[in-house]
Amino acid sequence: ASAVRIYQATVNALRNGMPDAGVSPPPTDEVANGLDAIIADWAAVQPILSTVIDGGQISNDDQATIFVQMNSLTGQMNTFVGIYTEESKLGL
């Protein structure tokens, strides 16, 4: 549950900015659009994760979905955080 909350807070901070933590909104449309895609993929897997957090049972297919989606999200986040960082440096 805490990992889900941290991931959600991280994605929201990157997409919308979090000035109190020193996080600016996306520096370019490319980054904003990439984060929007991540948020859409995240929204698709969240109900399954909520079932697990609440102690519910999930199918083998749902387990596979979590595995595939979270690996994909990790890759996407790595890509767009890297781009975000580079584009932010260019704006300094």
Q: Region 23-42: what's the mean pLDDT? A: 93
Q: Region 42-63: what's the mean pLDDT? A: 96
Crossing angle of the two packed helices 29-53 and 60-90, in degrees rounded to 10: 150
Provide the mean pLDDT of the chain. Answer: 92
Q: Is the pLDDT of residue 92 over 60?
A: no
pLDDT of residue 91: 60
Q: Is the pLDDT of residue 86 over 90?
A: no
Q: Region 20-49: what's the mean pLDDT? A: 93
pLDDT of residue 68: 97
Buried b (16+ CB within 10 A) or exposed e, 48-68: bbeeeeeeeeeeeebeeeeee
